[in-house]
A and B are shown apart, each in its own frame.
Chain A
Amino acid sequence: MPTKAEIYDKIRTALVDALGVDEDEVKPEATLIGDLGAESIDFLDIVFRLEKAFDIKVPRAELFPEDILTSAQYVKDGKVTPEGIVKLRERMPFADLSKFEKNPSVKEFPNQLTVQDMCRYVESKVTVTG
């Protein structure tokens, strides 16, 4: 049962190995796509490493809520509706969506995922000690 610090370390290792960034580039507020240069194939690589490192399952839809982001019900004119935001919060309680809410453009959604979001996600999946 890992501590928060251990979780952060393992996530940092996974990001360094998958993305080729330096350890000190991996900061909690760094965005995976914008700051660390992750591309879609990298996400799969990262997910595989996290699943192995923490012995968890990472269902795609929990990190990449494509169904919400492509639904006519929750998206209007390329922006997520307030109803859609509620759905996103339900699906991704670990993510800090406050910035996204100010400009909820679907295209921008992947760009706001941070290292901190990933840490909170893993924390929600394992039993954290300390």
Chain B
Amino acid sequence: MRFTLLDKILQLEPGVKLVGLKNLSMAEEYLADHFPGFPVMPGVMMLEAMTQAAAWLIRATDDFAHSSVLLKEARHVKYASFVEPGQALTVNVTMVEHGPRLSQLKAQGTVDGSIAVAARLVIERSNLADTNPSRAIADDVVKAKMRELFALLYSPVSGAAASA
């Protein structure tokens, strides 16, 4: 199973908010188990899509200063409706607080405008070299790969092209 849970970043305001999208497709094999005869996006994958949206916002805000951007805490994760193959989950995250190590965000996932999931997230960021200097190379590898993936997900139209 691949683990990129956002397919596109639609809007980005560093330090403020990010809007992204996750398409759900029958091609995703785990759906055969969840559930047999009734494929729907697992709740934790909805949580992961929101977590990844938050992580992208943080990476973009700090210009990829950290290799490790992980979910530290989730609160009040509530599921309102299912996401089915053929539908898209639009994820909206807003930065509430951006500390030196921890960030707090509000997150929401909608399908066709209706709320499917909501949560409060705390994301923790660090570098492997913080605790083990010999891992600085691994940090560089991760950051480079994340930049590459980000370029794939987010290609904003420049001002000139938009007005053409």
Binding site for B on A (CB under 8 A): 19-20, 39, 41-42
Task: Identify which of A19, A20, A39 contacts B80 (C-beta below 8 A).
Answer: A39
Q: Are B76 and A41 in contact (CB under 8 A)?
A: no
Interface pair B79/A41, CB less than 8 Å apart: yes
Cβ contacts B17-42/A at 8 Å (1 or 0 each): 00000000000000000000000000
Contacts of A19 in B (CB 8 A): 76
Closest Cβ of chain B to A86, distance in Å, is 34
Which single residue of chain A is at the shortest CB-CB distance from B115? A39
CB of B78 closer than 8 Å to a CB of A? yes
B75 at the interface (CB under 8 A from A): yes
Q: Is the CB of B79 within 8 A of A20?
A: no
Secondary structure call for the B interface: strand
B120 within 8 Å of A by Cβ?
Answer: yes
Give 10 CB contacts A-B under 8 Å: A19-B76, A20-B75, A20-B76, A20-B120, A39-B78, A39-B80, A41-B78, A41-B79, A41-B80, A42-B78
Q: How far is the CA of A53 from the CA of B79 in the complex (A)?
A: 25
Could you tell me the distance between the alpha carbons of A39 and B76 in the complex, rounded to whole angstroms?
11
In the assembled complex, the Cα of A68 lies from the Cα of B123 at a distance in Å of: 45
Which residue on chain A has the smallest CB distance to residue B118?
A: A39
Most A-side CB within 10 Å, residue of B76, B78, B79, B80: B76
Q: Which residues of A contact B79 (CB under 8 A)?
A: 41
Which B-chain residue is minimally distant from A39 (CB atoms)?
B78
* Bound-complex Cα distance A39 to B75 (A): 15
Chain B residues contacting A20 (CB-CB under 8 Å) are 75-76, 120
In the A-B complex, the 6 residue pairs with the smallest Cβ-Cβ separation, listed nearest first, are A20-B76, A41-B78, A20-B75, A39-B78, A20-B120, A41-B79
Chain A residues with CB under 8 A of B120: 20
What residues on A are CB-neighbors of B75 within 8 Å?
20
**A39 cross-chain contacts in B, Cβ below 8 A:** 78, 80
Cα A7 to Cα B81 with chains together (Å): 34
A41 / chain B contacts, CB cutoff of 8 Å: 78-80
Closest to A41 in B: B78
A40's nearest neighbour on chain B, judged by CB, is: B80
Residues of A within 8 A of B78 (CB): 39, 41-42
